[in-house]
């Protein structure tokens, strides 16, 4: 019977709220809050914690978290993330920044708790266009390869029942601010910007996925904070959804295409910073790398990129549904209907990459 005994109801509420509270020990270091990995292990029900080596590892039945002391690399089930701040050791404790726990580990391990908006529309954003060619290889321009991938992805996503909008569907120049405004006219949508990379060195290769840096953390490609890192961005309203979408997308890309896995990174690109919907920017390989430029020039490779993008969207949609216990960082998104990978001879596609501690 309802409302029979307010005292008992109050007591029950107290007990319940006590049951869900968790006693975190916060350590201040460099003016930032840090939390011990052994408590993180307990909170997320990892059954094993190896915290004695410089490669701290937490493992459970279906989940493995591995980092490096003084490193910003973190692997969740083999998927590479770039942390906002390095994991540190203070005394006998290995610590992770509170920012990384709340803005990365939590939304990726418990995406259903984000309460993200359902996804009906996908805004695809092929980078560059018109006079802005983007990066170049001897086989073609970034602007053309990006558009081709977007058109292929559109076809697949429409087949899965999504509305699909393109910021450009032909070889025209569209300013970045206009692309963001276009994204903001679409409710219940996610934004996927498609690019290819250029590196100063020929040996830079592989896939990376960017999403917006939370307020107060450096971009992944910067080692130090700057004042601009504290400027508020509208895109930060979607921090939880952003990292969940990036994980789903990157997981699908790496599963389909293989390495090198350059990781899920943070940046403040205009098209990520100024949008009201969750967004990612995919770098589908390096046009300056001898191997990557060959595969990017192949329609089969661009089709795989498109398939991974559509697979990533569906994985994200499923993961944010309330009550869905899925962990979003998986390297096993390869489903029976999608058995293709870029190089079937490459057994390493399924191997767990090992973290390298930064020097």
Phi and psi (nearest 5°) for 118?
A: -65, 155
Cis peptide before 260 (omega within 30 of 0): yes
Binding segment for Zn ion among 20-28, 37-45, 124-132, 166-174 (CB under 5 A)? 124-132
Q: How many beta carbons lie within 10 A of that of residue 175, not counting itself?
A: 10
Choose one: 69-77, 104-112, 121-129, 203-211; the region binding Zn ion (CB under 5 A). Answer: 121-129
Residue nearest to Zn ion (CB): 195
* Binding-residue total with Zn ion (CB under 5 A): 3
Q: Could you give the 3-state DSSP secondary structure of residue 143?
A: helix
The contact pattern for Zn ion, residues 203-242, with x = CB under 5 A and - = no contact, is ----------------------------------------
Quick check: 134 binds Zn ion (CB under 5 A)? yes
Of 180, 155, 131, give the one whose Cα is nearest residue 302.
Answer: 155
Q: How far is the CB of 257 from Zn ion (least distance, A)?
A: 18
CA–centroid distance for 21 within its chain? 28
Q: Please, which residue, 195 or 273, has the CB nearer to Zn ion?
A: 195
- Structure tokens, 2: 């309802």
Q: How far is the CB of 148 from Zn ion (least distance, A)?
A: 14
* Token duo for residue 353: 């990459």
Closer residue to Zn ion in complex, CB, 195/262: 195
| Nearest to Zn ion of 110, 195 (CB atom) | 195
**187 burial via Cβ count (<10 Å: 0-12, 13-18, 19+):** exposed
| Dist CA 288 CA 196 (whole Å) | 10
Q: Which helix (H) or strand (E) holds 89?
A: strand 88-90
Complex with Zn ion: residue 36 or 134, whichever CB lies closer? 134
The span of 11-19, 126-134, 221-229, 294-302 binding Zn ion (CB under 5 A) equals 126-134
| Nearest CB to Zn ion, comparing residues 27 and 136 | 136
Contacting Zn ion (CB under 5 A), which of 86, 107, 126, 127? 127
Work out how close the CB of 128 gets to Zn ion at its nearest, in angstroms, rounded to a whole number: 6
Tokens 């060619």 — which residue?
Answer: 133
Q: Smallest distance from the beta carbon of 241 to Zn ion, in angstroms?
A: 23
* Contact range with Zn ion by CB under 5 A, out of 17-25, 132-140, 253-261, 266-274: 132-140
Toward Zn ion, which CB reaches closer, 135 or 254? 135
Which listed range, 117-125, 129-137, 301-309, 347-355, lies at the site for Zn ion (CB under 5 A)?
129-137
Alpha helices in the chain (DSSP H): 6-20, 37-43, 98-100, 106-109, 142-159, 176-184, 239-257, 270-273, 290-296, 299-320
User: What's the closest the beta carbon of residue 136 comes to Zn ion, in angstroms?
Assistant: 11
Q: At what angle do helices 299-320 and 239-257 cross, to 10 degrees?
A: 140
Query: In the complex, what is the shortest distance from the CB of residue 344 to Zn ion, in angstroms, rounded to a whole number?
Result: 29
What dihedral angle (degrees, nearest 10) is formed by the CA atoms of 316, 317, 318, 323? 100
Residues 150-209 interacting with Zn ion (rule: CB under 5 A): 195
Residues that bind Zn ion (CB under 5 A): 127, 134, 195
């Amino acid at each position: 019977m309802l409302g029979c005994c307010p005292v008992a109801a109050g007591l029950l509420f107290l007990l319940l709220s006590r049951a869900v509270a968790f006693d975190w020990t916060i350590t201040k270091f460099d003016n930032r809050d840090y939390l011990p990995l052994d408590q993180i292990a307990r909170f997320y029900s990892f059954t094993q914690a190896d915290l004695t080596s410089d490669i701290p590892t937490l493992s459970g039945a279906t989940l493995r978290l591995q980092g490096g002391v003084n490193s910003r690399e973190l692997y969740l089930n083999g998927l590479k993330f770039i942390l906002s701040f390095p994991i540190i050791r203070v005394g006998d404790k290995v610590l992770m920044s509170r920012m990384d726990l709340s803005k990365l580990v939590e939304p990726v391990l418990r995406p259903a708790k984000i309460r993200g908006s359902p996804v009906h529309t996908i805004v695809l954003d092929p980078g560059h266009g018109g006079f802005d060619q983007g990066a170049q290889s001897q086989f073609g321009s970034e602007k053309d390869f990006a558009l081709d991938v977007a058109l292929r992805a559109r076809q697949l996503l429409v087949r899965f029942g999504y509305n699909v909008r393109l910021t450009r569907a032909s070889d025209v120049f569209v300013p970045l601010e206009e692309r963001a405004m276009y994204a903001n006219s679409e409710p219940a949508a996610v934004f996927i910007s498609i690019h290819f990379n250029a590196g100063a060195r020929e040996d830079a290769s592989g896939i990376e996925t960017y999403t917006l840096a939370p307020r107060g953390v450096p971009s992944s490609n910067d080692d130090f904070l700057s004042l601009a890192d504290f400027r508020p961005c509208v895109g930060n309203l979607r921090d939880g959804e952003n990292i969940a979408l990036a994980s789903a997308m990157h997981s699908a890309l790496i599963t389909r295409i293989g390495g090198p896995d350059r990781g899920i990174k943070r940046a403040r690109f205009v098209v990520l910073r100024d949008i009201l919907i969750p967004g990612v920017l995919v770098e589908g390989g390096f046009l300056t790398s001898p191997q990557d430029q060959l595969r990017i020039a192949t329609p089969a490779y661009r089709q795989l990129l498109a398939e991974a993008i559509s697979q990533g969207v569906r994985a994200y949609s499923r993961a944010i549904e309330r009550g869905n216990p899925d962990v979003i960082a998986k390297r096993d998104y390869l489903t029976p209907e999608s058995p293709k990978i870029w190089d079937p001879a490459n057994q390493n596609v399924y191997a767990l990459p090992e973290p390298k501690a930064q020097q």
